[in-house]
Amino acid sequence: MKLAAVLAIDTSTEQCSVALKVGERTVTRAAITPREHSQRILGFVQEVLAEQQISLADIDALVVGHGPGSFTGVRIGVSVAQGLAFSHDIPVIAVSTLAALAQQAIRLHHAETVVSAIDARMQEIYVAPFSNHNGFATAFGEPHMAPLENITQQPWWPALTGTVVGAGTGWQAYGDALNPGNVVAVLDDVTLPLAEDMLEWALAHGEPVAAEKLEPLYVRNEVAWKKLPGR
């Protein structure tokens, strides 16, 4: 996907991050502010727009991390993305936080096989396996919620090949339960997703939709999303 200016935002975990790519230049902002996302995200957007000397009207597409993650964080990110997109009729590309973690592992470590796991609290994780296909994370299956058990018991484990690395807070929180045999090489520097990785993944694989079609990815089925009026 060749676009002149693409803005990415993510508030779905403890980290609030923004990335703006104009041509070949990307500028970013990121901070771990779990209780301040709603206050920080628009400020970050204004900062990167100013740094690139463009306005929101110049944006060709908006990328958003739509989960899984913190329910409040996911709602903030999706709502802000919809508001920005509606204001200037910008198409939106939703990217999984788990895919973004795998993309970060590929960017930083050239990882070939990644199991992304985010701490879902209540002794569970959000998890999905990915392979490196020409530098981009390709999922083996849909993101899902899993109990704390040896990761090799997952039905998709036999399909993984080579050295498997673990990315995300799930590994830091529950490594002993998930990785008792140390078969997964846990990456201590890839714990939270970043908007810059969502941006690059979206440019390669994303499918833009209208803002009114954007939906959060909660994974937990019992959580309801309050749609905007008229949806």
Give the pLDDT band (50/70/90) at residue 229: very low
Q: Which residue has the tokens 């996907």?
A: 1
Domain boundary among 148, 171, 186: 186
Provide the domain count of the chain.
Answer: 2
122 assigned to some structural domain? yes
3-state SS, residue 104: helix
Give residue 122's pLDDT.
86
Tell me: do 134 and 200 sit in the same domain.
Answer: no
225 assigned to some structural domain? no
Cα–Cα nearest to 217, from 9, 119, 75, 34? 75
CATH for 150 = 3.30.420.40
Is the model's pLDDT at 2 over the cut of 90? no
197 assigned to some structural domain? yes
Give the pLDDT band (50/70/90) at residue 230: very low
Q: Where are the beta strands (DSSP E) in 15-123?
A: 15-22, 25-32, 61-65, 92-95, 113-119
* 229 vs 132, more confident: 132
Tell me: do 140 and 180 sit in the same domain.
Answer: yes
Computed on alpha carbons and rounded to an integer, the radius of gyration of the chain in Å comes to 17
Is the model's pLDDT at 203 over the cut of 90? yes
3-state SS, residue 75: helix
202 assigned to some structural domain? yes
Tell me: do 110 and 84 sit in the same domain.
Answer: no
Give residue 219's pLDDT.
83
224 assigned to some structural domain? no
Tell me: do 65 and 134 sit in the same domain.
Answer: no
Tell me: do 90 and 117 sit in the same domain.
Answer: no
- pTM for the whole structure: 0.93
Q: Residue 153: exposed, middle, or buried by beta-carbon count in 10 A (0-12, 13-18, 19+)?
A: exposed
Residue 79 near residue 52, CB atoms below 8 Å:
no
Tell me: do 47 and 155 sit in the same domain.
Answer: no
Strand 5-10 versus strand 61-65 pairing type: parallel
Give residue 223's pLDDT.
38
Tell me: do 90 and 115 sit in the same domain.
Answer: no
53 assigned to some structural domain? yes
Which residues lie closer than 8 Å to 22 by C-beta, 6 or more apart? 4, 5, 52, 54
Tell me: do 85 and 106 sit in the same domain.
Answer: no
32 assigned to some structural domain? yes
Domain that holds residue 203: 5-96+193-213
157 assigned to some structural domain? yes
